[in-house]
Amino acid sequence: MTPSPVKHIAIIMDGNRRWAKERGLMSFQGHEAGYETLKRIGDACLDRGITNLTVFAFSTENWKRTTEEVGILMDLLERGLRDELAHFAARDVRIRVIGRRDGLRASVLRAIEDAEQKTAGNTKGTLTIAINYGGQAEIVDACKKIVSDGIAIDQINEAAIQARMYWPDMPEPELIVRTSGEERLSGFLLWQSAYSELYWCEKHWPDFDEAELDKALEAYAVRQRRFGK
């Protein structure tokens, strides 16, 4: 398989509930299907030489959903962080979680901390999961750190803000994919996506497969990235 020119792909995994509704299923079944898709696509990215995959799993706005659905999503996140550790070890993948930790239940926090600690030495790839994440919130939190660090006003620049992002050394994603026909970022990686290429996929996330991934990579390959030049 020809290695992908993309080394960091970020995905807004949209459409789990719509996928379920179209099939007469419950919403949680859509989220379960989306969970399985993430496992397959994660492996497919690694097989193509994509060393960084970042996914939007739960936004700061998702708290507005029903208590039942929020609970289901948190259960899935916790399960994935706990049950897939052996798989991450076998594939030599590191786990990172970005987003606000406050508001997450204790068991989810423990699962996050455990997954990050146990995979910290893995070097083949990194799966970054955005949980309780918002791009505007991340920038606000970085600004708060600048104030608390006592940075002089003439020392505030892009590097100072970058150094206070949730993951300061995150490589900028070359490609951001959103599924389910929506064409907006919804606050995903606002700081990091300044020059990312965007790709909109009509399929709901549970139907996203290796063929769709390759279509996105092919679309990226023919674009010209000028970076303002």
> Taking a C-beta distance cutoff of 8 angstroms, is the pair 85, 159 a contact?
no
Catalytic residue among 14, 16, 52, 132: 14
62 classed as catalytic = yes
Distance CA 125, CA 53 (A): 8
Cβ neighbour number for residue 167 with a 10 Å cutoff: 14
Distance CA 101, CA 142 (A): 15
CB neighbours of 145 closer than 8 A, spacing ≥ 6?
164
141 classed as catalytic = no
- 3-class SS at 33? helix
Catalytic residue among 62, 122, 207, 214: 62
Q: What share of the chain is helix, strand, coil (3-state, %, to 5)?
A: 45, 15, 40
Find how far residue 113's CA is from the centre of its chain: 17
The catalytic site residues sit at 14, 62
